[in-house]
Amino acid sequence: MPTLIKKIDTLTSHGNVEGRRTVLTILEAGLKAADPYSRARRLIAAEGCKLIIGVKDMQASTSEGKPITEPLIFDLSKVKNIYVVGGGKAAQRQAKAIEDVLGDLITEGQVNAKKGEQVQLSKIGVTLAGHPLPDEDSVKGSKKILEILRKARKDDIVFFSESGGSSSLMALPAPGLTIEDVKEVTRKLYFECGASMWDTNVVRWNLAILRGREKRYVGEATLIVFSCDERPPGIRVNLRSIQGHGSYQDAINILKKYDLWDQVPQRVREHLLKADPEYETLRPEELIGRPHYHFRVIGPEHMLEAAKREAERLRVNTTVIVSSLSDIEARAAGETLAYMAQEVETYGRPLKTPCVLICGGELLVKVGDKRGLGGRNQEFVLATAPRIAKSKNIVIASADSDGTDGPTDAAGGIVDGYTWERAEREGLDISSELDDHNSYGVLSKLNDLVFTGAQGTNVQDLRLIYIGGRTKVVFSALPEYLRTLIPKVNDA
């Protein structure tokens, strides 16, 4: 049976073998559930001359935020053109669902996906672009998207497939700015200063003319948005000191907050101070009465709940402790959750062992002037290693749902109570490597990197804190491919 996680035999060849294969089984189930294709496919149907969009168990709303309670039905004989555009890490998978249903009914299309993905579309054009730093391909593909959007007229339908990552993949600089300007601002904010993705995106939105403004360009055409949402329902963005909702002034305030106002290119400062209303982010009043509809295809809760169900199937006590642990340093989060694991191991609270604590969200890594290689998931797990050293029960894993953690080819990593000792035997100083943000190098030498390849989705990260105990995990419930990889250790 094919697995999403690669080289499971290597990952379970050392350390806490029993705990590792339990954790990897749960991790695999969660990550597989993050694929938006099947849910997007359920949303759309073509029956004779009818195009039907929507199902009752998926959240949908109008341009004014009013809930949609019944499927939308369009008479295809009255539709002149159907366009499919979009961008983001999940854009291609959602567009694939649309293409598989509509096929030759699609007039034209273009989506921007992340480099590393395989092109899956035939009727809809695909440009593989840069992320987390945008590149010239981001610009090239975005120009094609904008061209299609501007063709749309009253009797047309435009499908817009969006997800996290689109601010980079659809970066089309405003007049007077270059893609290098956008890259430099992103590098300083997100990587050097450790700004949250929200803060970073507010600035990037105000340097570009496409992302966040696509609704402005479709005129009177019907717009159908398929969205892969990074945030669980009801979770608020941490606005910190930001008072607005993405204005030019908000962008200026963010750059000043991180002491970057005088460091960014002069063209960037001039653009933000000019505050040209032609390129500002959309105002709510612009959308009143427009035939725009938003469908929330998938979110982090689907990944987290799938992981929880798999743990329960293995008869492991489980709970989602936080669905979106975001915008804090990965190292600090790792140390904190390692202490929680010790609490469970020592006192059996808040859950009895064997158990797994599940959390999602996106952490931060403030790189500064360090030049180590890693990502937030790798740094998170490595930071737990000193705190759980010598434990025979604790295993911790973390992976990015999109399959690439930071600027690396790994999705994340896995550690256990034996990791610290194994690192010492290899001559690795985990503390100093963490100071250099070189988690990839350490985990690579220990064969503890988790690889999945690009997954075509983006519902943030999946973190698992597993604490074994005297109660035996029911390994007969494990998938066959895991049961046959390693000898059973229950009776060891």
Q: What is the pLDDT of residues 29-42, one digit of tens each?
A: 999 999 999 999 99
Clarify whether residues 28 and 74 are in a common domain: no
Report the distance separating Cα 127 and Cα 114, nearest Å.
8
Report the distance separating Cα 267 and Cα 265, nearest Å.
5
Clarify whether residues 26 and 46 are in a common domain: no
CATH classification of the domain holding 43 = 3.40.50.10180
Which candidate, 3, 19, 78, places its Cα nearest to that of 397? Answer: 19
Helix crossing, 197-205 with 248-257: angle to 10°?
130
Residue 264 lies in a domain: no
Report the 10 Å Cβ neighbour count for 302. 19
Write the CA distances from 29 to 160, 202, 245, integer angstroms. Answer: 28, 33, 36
Clarify whether residues 402 and 455 are in a common domain: yes
Report the distance separating Cα 247 and Cα 244, nearest Å.
7
pLDDT digits (tens, 9 = 90+) for 206-258: 999 998 889 999 999 999 999 999 999 888 765 554 445 589 999 999 999 99
Residue 431 lies in a domain: yes
Q: What is the pLDDT of residue 368?
A: 86
Residue 55 tokens read as 């199902």
Q: What is the pLDDT of residue 483?
A: 55
Report the 10 Å Cβ neighbour count for 49. 11
Report the 10 Å Cβ neighbour count for 340. 16
Which candidate, 95, 117, 72, places its Cα nearest to that of 163? Answer: 95
Residue 325 tokens read as 């642990």
Please give the mean pLDDT across all residues of the chain.
92
Contact 470, 403 (CB under 8 A): no
Q: What is the pLDDT of residue 238?
A: 59
Q: What is the pLDDT of residue 84?
A: 98
Contact 358, 394 (CB under 8 A): no
Residue 184 lies in a domain: no
Higher pLDDT, 327 or 395: 395
Q: What is the pLDDT of residue 1?
A: 47
pTM: 0.91
Q: 460-477 burial, b if ≥16 CB within 10 A, otherwise e?
A: bbbbbbbbbbeeebebee
Residue 185 lies in a domain: no
Contacting residues for 32 by C-beta, under 8 A, at least 6 apart:
4, 306
Query: What is the sign, positive or negative, of the torsion defined by CA atoms of 394, 400, 404, 408?
Result: negative
Mean pLDDT (whole number) for 436-451: 98
Clarify whether residues 240 and 348 are in a common domain: no
Contact 412, 450 (CB under 8 A): yes
Residue 261 lies in a domain: no
Contact 63, 287 (CB under 8 A): yes
Clarify whether residues 141 and 30 are in a common domain: no
Percent of the chain with pLDDT over 70: 93
Q: What is the pLDDT of residue 56?
A: 87
Contact 154, 219 (CB under 8 A): yes
Residue 32 tokens read as 């597989």
Residue 474 has pLDDT above 80, yes or no: no
- Of 16-25, 32-41, 135-144, 472-481, the one with minimum mean pLDDT is 472-481
Clarify whether residues 220 and 338 are in a common domain: no
Residue 465 has pLDDT above 90, yes or no: yes
Where residue 487 falls among pLDDT bands split at 50, 70, 90? Answer: very low
Where residue 489 falls among pLDDT bands split at 50, 70, 90? Answer: very low
Report the distance separating Cα 189 and Cα 252, nearest Å.
12
Contact 65, 322 (CB under 8 A): no
Residue 179 lies in a domain: no
Percent of the chain with pLDDT over 90: 83
CATH classification of the domain holding 420 = 3.40.1480.10
pLDDT digits (tens, 9 = 90+) for 384-419: 999 999 999 999 999 999 999 999 999 999 999 999
Number of structural domains the chain divides into: 2
Residue 308 lies in a domain: yes
Between strands 82-87 and 125-129, the pairing is: unpaired
Write the CA distances from 76 to 45, 81, 97, integer angstroms. Answer: 12, 9, 18
Domain that holds residue 294: 37-172+208-229+231-246+281-298
Residue 4 has pLDDT above 50, yes or no: yes
Contact 442, 430 (CB under 8 A): yes
Q: 203-232 burial, b if ≥16 CB within 10 A, otherwise e?
A: bbbbbbbbbbbbbbbbeebbbbbbbbbbbb
Contact 109, 84 (CB under 8 A): yes
Residue 199 tokens read as 């803060």
Q: Using CB atoms within 10 A of its CB, is residue 61 exposed (0-12), middle (13-18) or buried (19+)?
A: middle
Running DSSP on this structure, what letter comes out for residue 76?
G
Clarify whether residues 13 and 67 are in a common domain: no
pLDDT digits (tens, 9 = 90+) for 249-306: 999 999 999 999 999 999 999 999 999 998 888 777 777 889 999 999 999 999 999 9
Clarify whether residues 16 and 70 are in a common domain: no
Clarify whether residues 340 and 422 are in a common domain: yes
Between strands 317-322 and 355-359, the pairing is: parallel
Where residue 63 falls among pLDDT bands split at 50, 70, 90? Answer: confident
Clarify whether residues 28 and 61 are in a common domain: no
Report the distance separating Cα 228 and Cα 298, nearest Å.
5
Clarify whether residues 29 and 63 are in a common domain: no
Residue 470 has pLDDT above 80, yes or no: no
Report the distance separating Cα 173 and Cα 163, nearest Å.
19
Q: What is the pLDDT of residue 492?
A: 36
Which candidate, 142, 156, 73, places its Cα nearest to that of 113? Answer: 142
Running DSSP on this structure, what letter comes out for residue 338?
H
Q: What is the pLDDT of residue 243?
A: 46
Clarify whether residues 23 and 52 are in a common domain: no
Q: What is the pLDDT of residue 488?
A: 42
Residue 318 lies in a domain: yes
3-state secondary structure of 444: helix
Q: What is the pLDDT of residue 241?
A: 42
